Amino acid sequence: MKIGVILPFSGPYAPYGEQISSGIKVYMKEHGDTVAGRKIEMIYKDDTGVAPEIDRRLAQELIVTEKVDMLAGFGMTPSALAVAPLATQSKRPMIVMNAGSATIPSRSPYIVRVSESLPQVTRPMAQWAAKHGVKKVYTLVADYAPGIDTEKAFTKTFEDLGGTIIGSVRVPVTNTDFSSYMQKIKDEKPDAVFMFLPPGPATISFVKSYKERGLRKAGIQMFGTHDLTEETLIDALGDGVIGTITSGYYSAAHDSDLNRKFVKEYKAMFGPDAKINFMSATGYDGMAAIYAVLEKTGGKTDDGDKLMQAFKGLSFESPRGPVTIDAETRDMTQNIYLREVKRVDGQLANVEFDKVANVKAQP
């Protein structure tokens, strides 16, 4: 039984590949590499980041040459969108482990997503802001599907609750200089800036400009989805992000026995300083879903439709909390947590303080 995993392992988004594959490896260490009598072989491929033509070629090779039973991974939305038609053609399940644009599961009946839909994590952030005295927000997002999804979801939810969006800007995904944007935002005097950038070097320069241009001093709050303060970046963002509120489905500081076990095992495998973020959790959960499906089909993988049927409605306990793969949308129904950056035992951490329970991915 072969699973082809396509992820960025090089380039600015290389940490996505590392985090997700590490989560996969922790699951396989805990549960063994044989399920329902089938030995599982993982084949990892590097798509280098936003490079849909590479994704297409790698998926084609995995299907035709390697004869994989399933495809998995997909760090970025353009990767998942590029491969969706190949999942349909080959009738192979495609387990999306990060890419978050809302429309992805609708692009193929063979897609199941174990991460998030960006509007799902964004709406609770907008609700929290509206309830806590924030009246005027300026949005800044990366100009590609996930950024546009978050901008729209934040704007609609916030305006429906009486808030005002006083400005919005979409920046190229490759942009790494935010100083002029920050100056403009500061001049507009919002109560807060809401941002979405795919986590990476750009996030670090965004936060740096926020500070250097004096937005923090001016009392302009900074909000985002969990992407803003995820655990591989948080130390580089520094003490300046203490107090920052974000919304997300997983924090390494999540208070549950299963999460403590996950964190412990992860550090045992990858070292005491290993970073664990939401991508680590989605890699782990993707394998949990695959193992559960194989148990259900008695290890049979020849019928893609039967495999998909087995994914639908699957419920299990994840390090993030209880999750269900919604049978209709093939997206996760899960808790979305509000978190605040705090120093815990000397380390910066996203500490969950509230949650919206069982949020469906698609309204």
Q: Which residues bind ligand PHB (CB under 6 A)?
A: 76-77, 98-101, 146, 198-199, 227
Q: Which helix (H) or strand (E) holds 259?
A: helix 257-270
* Residue 77 or 301 with smaller CB distance to ligand PHB: 77
* Residue 14 or 292 with smaller CB distance to ligand PHB: 14
What minimum distance in Å lies between the beta carbon of 99 and ligand PHB? 4
Plot region of 248 (φ>0 → left; ψ -120 to 50 → alpha; else → beta) = beta
What minimum distance in Å lies between the beta carbon of 8 and ligand PHB? 10
Place of tokens 């800036």: 193
113 backbone dihedrals φ, ψ, rounded to 5°? -120, 130
* Residue 229 or 301 with smaller CB distance to ligand PHB: 229
Tokens standing for 108? 């193929």
CA distance 274 to 266: 8
The count of C-alpha atoms lying within 13 angstroms of the C-alpha of 142, restricted to the half-sphere facing its C-beta, is 25
316 backbone dihedrals φ, ψ, rounded to 5°? -160, 165
* Residue 90 or 98 with smaller CB distance to ligand PHB: 98
What minimum distance in Å lies between the beta carbon of 204 and ligand PHB? 14
What minimum distance in Å lies between the beta carbon of 248 and ligand PHB? 10
* Residue 52 or 322 with smaller CB distance to ligand PHB: 52
* Residue 76 or 82 with smaller CB distance to ligand PHB: 76
What minimum distance in Å lies between the beta carbon of 184 and ligand PHB? 25
* Residue 233 or 294 with smaller CB distance to ligand PHB: 233
What minimum distance in Å lies between the beta carbon of 320 and ligand PHB? 14
Place of tokens 């999942």: 87
Check if the beta carbon of residue 184 is closer than 8 Å to that of residue 220: no
Cα angle value 275/330/8 (rounded, 5°): 35
For the chain, where are the E strands, in sequence order? 2-7, 34-35, 38-39, 41-46, 70-73, 94-96, 111-113, 136-142, 164-171, 192-196, 221-225, 245-248, 315-318, 321-325, 332-344, 347-359
* Residue 227 or 352 with smaller CB distance to ligand PHB: 227
CB neighbours of 161 closer than 8 A, spacing ≥ 6? 126, 127, 130, 131
What minimum distance in Å lies between the beta carbon of 150 and ligand PHB? 9
Closest CA to 344 of 261, 251, 271: 251
What minimum distance in Å lies between the beta carbon of 84 and ligand PHB? 13
What minimum distance in Å lies between the beta carbon of 144 and ligand PHB? 7
Closest CA to 79 of 131, 174, 13: 13
* Residue 98 or 209 with smaller CB distance to ligand PHB: 98
